[in-house]
RNA sequence: GCGGCGGGCCGGAUGGCCGCUCCUGCCCCUUGUGGCAGGGGAGGAAAGUCCGGACUCCAGGAAGCAACGGCGCCGGGUAACGCCCGGCCGGGGAAACCCGAGGGAAAGCGCCACAGAGAAGAGACCGCUGUCGGCUGUCGCCGGCAGCAAGGGUGAAACGGUGGGGCAAGAGCCCACCGCGGGACGGGCAACCGGACCGGCACGGCAAGCCCCGCCGGGAGCAAUGCCGAAUAGGGACCUCAGAGGGCCUUCACGGGCCCGGGGAUGCUUCCUCCCAGAGGUCCGGGUUGGCAGCUAGAGCCUGCCGGUAACGGCAGGCCCAGAGGAAUGGCCAUCGAACCGCCUUCGGGCGGGGAACAGAAUCCGGCUUACAGGCCCGCCGCGCGC
RNA sequence: CGGGCUAUGGCGCAGUCUGGUUAGCGCGUCCGUCUGGGGGACGGAAGGUCGCAGGUUCAAAUCCUGCUAGCCCGA
């Protein structure tokens, strides 16, 4: 991206409620979970759409972060869809352990063209901001 | 050197850091959704799902008939094919070469619009010829009868073509050549090719219209199928096959054996083997939404030799080459880098920009078809120049 | 994995099986007339590579083959 001087990306700011480093991120598999997440909150970014939902008290896996990925046929052919999912998986892997919250479900939805081609560092930044916005929104709402 | 034709192959490279998945080995006071190390990890089309198989279930197999579907020059290859190779015939091209669903229209039915006189075993509109009559000075015109089908015209197609003889005018009426039909004989495994001689021409097209002939095909599909676990009340209602049969031998009896009969696929029928005294289906209610096998060693890949014009086959040696399951094979960076664009050029190239097509396994193979930036190699044809 | 349907003027549909004559119908569009104007009625007109590419045939929207796009079933 930049010249050779661009050493590393900005050092990650220790998020306020920094969770345990060994936190696991589970994969969302059930259709019902996807539907519930879609009905909860959402936030659109240029590269993807983030849906998020805090699980109820009696749901299992209390301390876990769960995440699912959606890339429908609208995103493109198999190549575009898989590429979009791979990149979404990667930003989730890099950002969610530090910036996600335990007990939440997240779903990342791919968009046509953009998800597969947008600058990677920018998408990471957008995910951090979207997570922050949704969490703040919930605190104020409740 | 230029233009063209055919075939084969490749389809970004190297390294670093961080991940995913499978396999193997090791480690553990954390036997876990664990850790560490090493190794494997998309394609020529993985695609469309258009053919052919393997495999599994419908119990296994063989045969006939009917229906339906597919295929269709000949020979070969193959597990098989609608694929491939070689050949034949027809068409295109100056050639290399390319294209062809290419059996049967003298078994039958059907169709051939419009135009045209006439469209299937047809026809006489304009015409041509003779003769008779009328008109007329003549050329000629009109009408009747008889003969003709050459010329004009229509059409996609008009019942051989060209030239000559012949005739009142004409016509395969006769002749030559070409075409067509038959064909002794010769060549070829065959499709087919050549063809002495004979026939005077009769036999239009469409079968990707019905059809006839020959060949092939039972159905469903890895969400097939098998096993384990968990859960529940192995619950309830209804329906189907059905006859829970008969005889004989043996035994005191229980039981066993044989025969007839019944059932066990998904058109009907026959035969052989095997199996059965229970099996199957629908609906209501409840539970589960897990795991394992199938799952990758195969019509496999590489090399060499041999057979074959070739497709391909045989033998020997070597190799192990993705196995996921909301679905791995990735992300980022650096260097090198093709197309393409700009500038310079001593036409060899140099400098800068630029950054890689179509597309991703889902049971597995053999084909076909379609998409594809660009590059490499081989062979052939034509033209020009030089030796 | 298996099966089916559709594509025709701007829109909705016929025609395709059984090939041929002007590819037709309704709505819409445009022009004109009636009205002071609008609406409406009447008269007239324009507008179609029949999804794409090959093939069969004298002739193809129609028959055959291969593609493309959209939709719907079943396991």
CATH number of the domain within which A88 lies: 3.30.230.10
Scanning every strand, the nucleotide with its C1' closest to A91's CA turns out to be: B331
Structural domain contains residue A2: no
Scanning every strand, the nucleotide with its C1' closest to A68's CA turns out to be: B326
Q: What is the mean pLDDT of residues A5-21?
A: 37
Structural domain contains residue A13: no
Cα distance between residue A109 and residue A42, in whole Å: 10
Model confidence at A15, in pLDDT bands (50, 70, 90)? very low
Residues spanned by the domain of A76 = 25-137
- Give residue-wise pLDDT tens across range A89-115: 888 888 888 888 888 888 888 887 788
**Is 50 exceeded by the pLDDT of residue A41?**
yes
Positions of chain B reached by protein Cβ under 7 A: 19, 33, 42, 290, 326-335, 359-361
Scanning every strand, the nucleotide with its C1' closest to A33's CA turns out to be: B326
Angle at A61 between CA A36 and CA A22, to 5 degrees: 120
Pick from A36, A34, A52: nearest CA to A44:
A52
Which strands, in side-by-side order, build the sheet including A25-27? A25-27, A65-70, A104-110, A48-54, A41-44
**Which positions ≥6 away from A28 have C-beta within 8 Å?**
A34, A37, A66, A67, A68, A105, A107
* Percent of the residues in chain A that have a pLDDT greater than 90, as a whole number: 0
A140 versus A47: the higher-pLDDT residue is A47
CB atoms within 10 A of CB A129: 14
* Percent of the residues in chain A that have a pLDDT greater than 70, as a whole number: 75
Decide: helix, strand or coil at residue A89. helix
Structural domain contains residue A49: yes
- Nucleic strand B near CB of residue A18 (< 7 Å): no
Decide: helix, strand or coil at residue A88. helix
Rounded distance in angstroms from the CA atom of residue A81 to the C1' atom of nucleotide B366: 31
Q: How many structural domains compose chain A?
A: 1
CB within 7 A of strand B (chain A, 82-141): 82-83, 85-87, 89-90, 93, 120
- Measured between alpha carbons, how far is residue A95 from residues A3, A70, A121 in Å? 25, 18, 11
């Amino acid at each position: 991206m930049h010249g050779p001087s661009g050493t590393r990306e900005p050092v990650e700011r220790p998020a306020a409620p920094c969770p345990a480093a060994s936190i696991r991120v589970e994969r969302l598999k059930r259709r019902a979970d996807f539907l519930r997440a879609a009905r909860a909150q959402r936030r659109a970014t240029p590269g993807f759409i983030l849906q998020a939902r805090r699980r109820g008290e009696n749901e299992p896996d209390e301390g876990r972060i769960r995440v699912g990925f959606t890339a429908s046929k609208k995103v493109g052919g198999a190549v575009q869809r898989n590429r979009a999912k791979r990149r979404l998986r990667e930003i989730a892997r890099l950002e969610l352990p530090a910036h996600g919250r335990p007990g939440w479900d997240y779903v990342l939805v791919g968009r046509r063209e953009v998800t597969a081609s947008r600058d990677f560092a920018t998408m990471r930044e957008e995910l951090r901001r979207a997570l922050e916005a949704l969490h703040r929104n919930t605190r104020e709402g409740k």
